[in-house]
């Protein structure tokens, strides 16, 4: 199997890190992470997607904070005369103006705008930003690297998608999932949150076919999987001939 995948990768893979949009996004993410004292790590495409999700979360965080601070400026003349509930009501009105422009996920009936924060902090950013009048909370505007969580720990795989990252979740079953990235027309196969393999497609396929390919990768025999790829014309005849020869000789 390894030799077959090696052949397919050599023939069809596109250089992910050489893609212009990936290079540009990587620079943007590195700069933003650095400004908040967050270490940027990228081992492979999967970690790139995870960085994108964190990056978008920071952008969401910045926008909500901007609405909060601008709201305080607008209410500067009378803000300190208001009680807590009135401050909260007026501040939520200001923040509500920006929320429709931000991507989010509904988790257990609650909107999550910042994937690397837990439910409680997300709820504060959702409707209780007035707490940022308190130094304890205001501290999180600049320093939050020590309270960041892995989004999988609370929200599973819900943040994959083009509004948060370059990969769409197309298949999920217990600890297995596959992600499709349109930048490279590539399916990434993940087990236990680790990238285990990938398949570059020769052409774009609809979601049902991507699901079928993913299911087959995880659940059928290797030969059946190769048969499927051949039937979908994802392997050229020349490569297919080499693969059949390798399988026949037991050297796949």
What would you report as the CA-atom Rg of the chain, rounded to the nearest whole angstrom? Answer: 23
- Among candidates 151, 142, 217, 206, which has minimal Cα distance to 180? 206
Domain ranges of the chain: 2-15+167-248, 36-155
Please give the model's pTM, rounded to 2 decimal places: 0.94
Please tell me the distance from the alpha carbon of residue 200 to that of residue 204, in angstroms, as a whole number.
10
- What is the DSSP track for 129-162? GGGGGSHHHHGGGT--GGG---HHHHHTTTT-ST
**Tokens 């504060």 sit on residue:** 124
Per-residue pLDDT of the chain in tens (252 residues, 90 and over written 9): 889 999 999 999 989 999 999 999 999 999 999 999 999 999 999 999 999 999 999 999 999 999 999 999 999 999 999 999 999 999 999 999 999 999 999 999 999 999 999 999 999 999 999 999 999 999 999 999 999 999 999 999 999 999 999 999 999 999 999 999 998 999 999 999 999 999 999 888 999 999 999 999 999 999 999 999 999 999 999 999 999 988 887 765
Sheet arrangement for strand 176-181: 167-173, 176-181, 186-191, 194-200
């Amino acid at each position: 199997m390894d030799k077959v995948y090696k052949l397919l990768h050599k023939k069809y893979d596109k250089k992910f890190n050489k893609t212009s949009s990936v290079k540009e996004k990587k620079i943007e993410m590195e700069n933003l992470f650095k400004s908040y004292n967050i270490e940027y790590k990228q081992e492979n495409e999967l970690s790139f997607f995870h960085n994108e999700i964190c990056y978008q979360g920071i952008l969401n965080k910045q926008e909500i904070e901007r609405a909060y601070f601008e709201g305080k400026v607008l209410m500067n003349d009378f803000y300190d005369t208001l009680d807590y509930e009135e401050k909260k009501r007026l501040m939520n009105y200001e923040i509500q103006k920006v929320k429709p422009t931000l991507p989010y996920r509904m988790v257990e009936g609650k909107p999550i705008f910042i994937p690397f924060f837990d439910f409680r902090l997300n709820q504060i950013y959702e409707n209780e930003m007035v707490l940022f009048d308190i130094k304890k909370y205001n501290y999180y505007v600049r320093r939050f690297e020590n309270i960041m969580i892995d989004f999988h720990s609370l929200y599973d795989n819900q943040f994959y998608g083009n509004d948060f990252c370059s990969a769409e979740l197309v298949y999920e079953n217990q600890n297995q999932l596959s992600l499709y990235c349109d930048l490279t027309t590539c399916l990434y196969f993940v087990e236990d949150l680790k990238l285990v393999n990938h398949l570059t497609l020769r052409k774009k396929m609809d979601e049902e076919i991507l699901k079928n390919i993913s299911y087959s990768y995880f659940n059928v025999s290797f030969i059946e999987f190769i048969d499927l790829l051949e039937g979908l014309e994802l392997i050229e005849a020349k490569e297919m001939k080499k693969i059949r020869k390798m399988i026949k000789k037991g050297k796949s």
